[in-house]
């Protein structure tokens, strides 16, 4: 591990040298170098502290034979050894390869699965949960498209979440969410089990996914909101067909056709990016299995049991009996637990390699 850190330190020095040279005048190269510099700074800073603590430890150990300094030196040795162990573990975590998509915005797609109207109502509940989480944590959420039912549920809804580290916080939500509760539509008080599928896609930049405009078939139509509100006399809603892949994206949330087209293109790029990413990860299936939650949309990741006020995440066995708080956006504790478990699995894989 220490050799990896020394390599990182040499790379960091090379980046600093480049930033002092002609590369600083190239905006594209400058941006890449600054990004790499920011990525490496925490590692270099932590390693510097580790090296300094090791030196303090060696100096203190040298004083153990001094009768007058022995007690003070022993106390210093104990502290330095504990601190070195802590710093070593922190460095291990910092050296885990970071998901290159972690800092990106995300596209979230929620679809009702088994359970009819009850599944649609739970789709709304999940959308509300994510909306509240975003509001509490400084993320911006904007709806792209929705298909609302008469009772206020969603057959499907897609939205974009923007903010630093949005994907790193939301990526563990991909999969099948199962709900067990007595639906409002149930007259005999029986508990029903329904499912909702959530897909979380990192938003792709134009430079990452180049779309040939000749491959697109773009249609416009009139748009209306829930209950027929704000019926547009202009055709502001947009539907885009990507002919090579067969992917179709609709956006009708904005009153402006240009804004709807822009949002639809973001979703399309993200879906195409996810297709390419899934293909690449399929070729690295062994590494993918070491991650907590592969993002497979068929994987049942969580159960929400309303009669028992219980939420269980099946991937790490995390259970909470504060379901009301969870549904009101308090999902950060689970996200932290999933992140920690994922890092632990990746660390095992790195050590194994």
Q: Is the pLDDT of residue 228 over 50?
A: no
Give the pLDDT confidence score for residue 282 in this predicted structure.
64
Residue spans per domain, the chain? 2-95, 106-207+287-347, 213-280
Give the pLDDT confidence score for residue 283 in this predicted structure.
52
Q: Are strands 300-305 and 175-181 parallel, antiparallel or unpaired?
A: parallel
Contact 230, 298 (CB under 8 A): no
Environment class of 51 (CB within 10 Å of its CB; exposed 0-12, middle 13-18, buried 19+):
middle
Higher per-residue confidence, 83 vs 280: 83
Give the pLDDT confidence score for residue 258 in this predicted structure.
87
Give the pLDDT confidence score for residue 22 in this predicted structure.
83
- Confidence at 262, pLDDT banded by 50, 70, 90: confident
Q: Could you tell me which residues come within 8 angstroms of residue 328 by beta carbon, excluding any fewer than 6 positions away?
A: 129, 132
User: Is CATH 1.10.10.10 correct for 213-280?
Assistant: no
Chain centroid to CA 168: how far?
3
Calculate mean pLDDT across residues 166-173.
95
Contact 77, 57 (CB under 8 A): yes
Higher per-residue confidence, 120 vs 233: 120
Contact 274, 294 (CB under 8 A): no
Give the pLDDT confidence score for residue 281 in this predicted structure.
63
In this prediction the pTM is 0.72
Structure tokens at 30: 């400058």
Calculate mean pLDDT across residues 286-297.
46
Calculate mean pLDDT across residues 322-339.
96
Calculate mean pLDDT across residues 42-68.
93
CATH for 106-207+287-347 is: 3.30.70.1660
Residue 280: CA count within 13 A, CB half-sphere: 6
Structure tokens at 181: 């509760």
Identical topology for domains 106-207+287-347 and 213-280: no
Nearest to 56 by CA among 20, 81, 30: 81
- Of the listed ranges 26-40, 72-86, 152-166, 305-319, the one predicted with least confidence: 26-40
């Amino acid at each position: 591990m220490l050799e990896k850190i020394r390599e990182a330190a040499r790379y960091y020095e090379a980046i600093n040298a480049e930033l002092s040279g002609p590369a600083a005048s190239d905006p594209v190269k400058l941006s890449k170098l600054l990004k790499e510099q920011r990525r490496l700074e925490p590692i270099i800073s932590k390693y510097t502290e580790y090296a300094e603590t090791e030196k303090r430890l060696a100096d203190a150990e040298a004083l153990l034979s001094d009768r007058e300094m022995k007690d003070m030196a022993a106390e210093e040795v104990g502290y330095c050894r504990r601190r070195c162990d802590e710093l070593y573990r922190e460095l291990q975590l910092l050296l885990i390869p970071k998901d290159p998509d972690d800092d990106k915005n995300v596209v979230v797609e929620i679809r009702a699965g088994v359970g009819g109207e009850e599944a649609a109502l739970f789709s709304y509940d999940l959308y509300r949960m994510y909306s509240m989480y975003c509001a509490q944590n400084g993320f911006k959420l904007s709806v792209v498209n929705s298909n609302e039912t008469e009772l206020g549920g969603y057959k499907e809804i897609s939205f974009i979440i923007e903010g630093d580290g949005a994907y790193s916080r939301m990526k563990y939500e991909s999969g099948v969410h199962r709900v067990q509760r007595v639906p409002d539509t149930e007259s005999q008080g029986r508990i029903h089990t329904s499912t909702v599928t959530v897909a979380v896609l990192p938003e792709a930049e134009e430079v990452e996914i180049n779309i040939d405009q000749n491959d697109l078939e773009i249609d416009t139509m009139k748009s209306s909101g829930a209950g027929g509100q704000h019926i547009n006399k202009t055709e502001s809603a947009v539907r885009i067909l990507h002919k090579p892949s067969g992917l179709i994206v609709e956006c009708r949330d904005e009153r402006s056709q240009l804004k709807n087209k822009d949002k639809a293109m973001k979703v399309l790029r993200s879906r195409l990016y996810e297709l390419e990413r899934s293909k690449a990860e399929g070729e690295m299936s062994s590494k993918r299995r070491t991650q907590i939650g592969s993002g497979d949309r068929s994987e049942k990741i969580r159960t929400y049991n309303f009669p028992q006020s219980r939420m269980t995440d099946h991937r790490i066995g995390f259970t909470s009996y504060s379901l009301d708080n969870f549904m009101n956006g308090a999902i950060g504790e689970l996200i932290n637990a999933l992140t920690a478990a994922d890092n632990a699995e990746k660390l095992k894989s790195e050590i194994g390699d």
